[in-house]
A and B are shown apart, each in its own frame.
Chain A
Amino acid sequence: MTKSDVTRRGVLKTGAVAGAGVALPTIFTASSAAAYTNEPTGGSVTLGFNVPQTGPYAEEGNDELLAQQLAVEHLNGEGDGGCLNTFTSKALKGNGILGKKVEFVTGDTQTKSDAARASAKSMIEKDGAIMINGGSSSGVAVAVQGLCQEAGVIFMAGLTHANDTTGKDKKANGFRHFFNAYMSGAALAPVLAAEMGKERRAYHLTADYNWGWTQEESIVASTEAMGWETVNTVKTPLASTDFSSYIAPVLNSGADVLVLNHYGGNMVNSLTNAIQFGLLDKVVNNKDFKIVVPLYSELMAAGAGENIKGVLGSMNWNWQLQDEGTKAFVKSFGEKYGKPPSNSAQTCYAQVLLYADACERAGTFNPCGVVEALEGFEFDGLGNGPTLYRADDHQCFKDVLVVRGALNPTNAYDTLEIVEKTPVEQVTYAPDHPMFAGGDLGKCNPGA
Chain B
Amino acid sequence: MGNSIATAGYTFVVEESKEVSGEDLGLLQEKLLQLNWGVQHPASGPMRLKVWVDGDEVVKVDPDIGYVLRLLEKLVEYRTWINAIVNVERACFIDNFGTMTGYSIAAEKIAGVKVPKKADYIRTILCEGGRIVSHLIGLGSFVGVLGVHTPMQWALIAREKFLDAFEVYSGQRIATASIVPGGVRYEPTGKFIEKMVTAVDFLENEFIPRYGEVFIDNPTLKVRSVGVGKVSKERAIELGLAGPALRASGVSSDIRKDYPYAAYGELDFKVITKEEGDAYARYLVIWEELIESAKIIRQAIEGLPEGDYRTKFPVKVPAGEAYVNVEWARGCFGFHLISNGGTGPYRLKMRAPSFANLWAIPEMMKNVKLADVPVIFASLYMCHGDIDR
**Chains A and B come from one and the same complex:** no
Q: Which residues of A does B touch, CB under 8 Å?
A: none
Q: Which residues of B does A touch, CB under 8 Å?
A: none
